Structure 1
Amino acid sequence: MSSETKSYFCVAEGCNSDERKRGRYGYMKDVRFYPFPTQKRAPALRKRWLDLLRRENYEPKRNHRVCSLHFKEGRPTENHPYPELFAYNNFKESLKMRSTTSISKREQCMVKDTQFDISVPPRVDSPAASESVLQTQINNDNSLFVAGVSGELNGSWPVNQEIEVTDHECPTVGSLSVTGTHVEMDHCYISGSFCSNDMSTRDIGIQTTLTTADIKVLEEKSTKLEDPEKLMRELFVNKVVKDDKNVQMYTGLPSKTILNGVYDILEKASPTLKYWSGQGSAAKKKYQKDSLNAKSGPKRKLSRFQEFVLTLVRLRLALTTFVMADLFGVSTSRVSQVFTTWINFMFTIFKPLLKWPSRNVLKKFMPSSFRAKFPNVNCIIDCTEFFIKKPRNPTAQSQTFSSYKHHNTYKALVGVSPSGAFSFISNLWGGNVSDRYITKESGFLDNIQPGDEIMADRGFLIRDLLLHRRAKLIIPPFTRKCSWGKGKYLSASEILRTRNIAKFRIHVERAIGRLKTFHMLSNTMPTNLKPLADQMLVICAFLCNLQKPLVKK
Structure 2
Amino acid sequence: MVISCCAVGCTNRQGHKPGISFYRIPKNPERRRQWIAAINRKSWEPTALSRLCSEHFLNVFAHTKSPQKRKAITNLNNFQRREAMKKRKRQEGEHRQAAKQLSMDKDTLSIGLQDDGHEDGIADEDAVIGDCQASLSSSVMCQTEMSSEDISSLLFECQQLQKENTELKEKIRCLDLFEQNSFENKDEKVKALTGLPNFQVLMAVFSFMKPSLSNMSNLTCFQQLMLTFLKLKLNVSFTFLSYLIGAHTSTVSKVFTNVINILNERLVPVSVVWPERENVQISLPMCFRKSFKRCMAIIDCFEINTEKPKDLKARAQTYSQYKSHNTMKYLIGITPQGVISFISKGWVGGQLTGISL
Q: Which secondary structure state, in structure 1, belongs to the residue aligned with residue 290 of structure 2?
A: helix
Q: Where in structure 1 are there 5+ consecutive unaligned residues?
A: 1-42, 53-83, 90-121, 128-210, 274-293, 439-553
Q: Is the 8 A contact 1:401 1:431 kept in 2?
A: yes
Contact 2:196-2:202 within 8 A present in 1 as well = yes
- Aligned residue number for residue 317 of structure 1: 234
Equivalent residues of 2:242, 2:248 under 8 A apart: yes
Structure 1 residue 369 displacement after superposition: 0.4
Residue by residue over 1:40-89, the C-alpha shift from the partner in whole angstroms, topping out at 9 and shown as x without a partner, is xxx99x9679835xxxxxxxxxxxxxxxxxxxxxxxxxxxxxxx7xxxx9
> In the alignment, which residue of structure 1 is the partner of 2:194?
251
Instruction: Give yes or no for the alignment of 1:339 onto 2:256.
Output: yes
Q: CA deviation at 1:428?
A: 1.9
- Which position in structure 2 is the counterpart of 1:420? 338
Q: Which residue of 2 aligns with 1:212?
A: 154
SS at structure 2 position matched to 1:378: coil
**Residue type of the partner of 2:204?**
G
Q: Aligned letter for 1:385? A: E
Question: After alignment, is 393-402 or 325-334 more displaced?
Answer: 325-334
Corresponding position of 1:106: none
In the alignment, what sits opposite 1:125?
150
What secondary structure does 2:356 align onto?
A: helix
Distance in 2 separating the partners of 1:245 and 1:225: 24
Determine the C-alpha separation between the residues in 2 that align with 1:350 and 1:236: 23
Q: Does residue 1:380 correspond to 2:298, yes or no?
A: yes
Q: Structure 1 length as normaliser, TM-score?
A: 0.34
Q: Percent identity?
A: 32
2:315 and 2:344 map into 1 onto residues whose CA distance is 21
3-state secondary structure, aligned to 2:328: strand
1:249–1:228 CA distance, 2 compared to 1 (3 A): closer
The answer to whether the 8 A contact 1:248-1:254 is kept is yes
| Distance 1:398-1:307 versus aligned 2 partners, 3 A rule | closer
- CA distance change for structure 1 residues 224 and 332 in 2, over 3 Å: closer, same or farther? farther
Rounded Cα–Cα distance in structure 2 between residues aligned with 1:336 and 1:227: 29
Amino acid in the other structure paired with 2:200: T
Structure 2 gaps of 5+ residues are 1-134
Please report how far the alpha carbon of residue 386 of structure 1 lies from its aligned counterpart in structure 2 after TM superposition: 1.3
After the TM superposition, which residues 16-95 of structure 1 pair with which residues of structure 2 at under 5 Å, given as runs? 51=143
Paired residues in the alignment total 219
In structure 2, relative to structure 1, the CA distance for the partners of 1:239 and 1:228 (3 Å cut) is closer
Map 1:23-422; keep pairs closer than 5 Å.
51=143, 125-127=150-152, 211-219=153-161, 222=165, 233=176, 236-267=179-210, 271=211, 273=213, 301-353=218-270, 354-422=272-340
Matched residue of 2:157: which SS? helix
CA-CA distance at 1:345 after TM superposition: 1.5
- Give me the TM-score of the superposition, normalised by structure 2: 0.51
User: Does 1:429 find its partner at 2:347?
Assistant: yes
C-alpha separation in 1, matches of 2:277 and 2:260: 32
Q: For residues 298 and 262 of structure 2, what CA distance do their matches in structure 1 show?
A: 29
Describe the shift of the 1:254–1:227 C-alpha distance in structure 2 as closer, same or farther (beyond 3 A). Answer: closer
Instruction: Mark the CA change 1:51 to 1:337 in structure 2 (over 3 Å): closer, same or farther.
Output: farther
Q: 1 or 2, which has the higher helix percentage?
A: 2
Look up the match of 1:532. Answer: none
Query: RMSD value over aligned CA atoms?
Result: 3.9
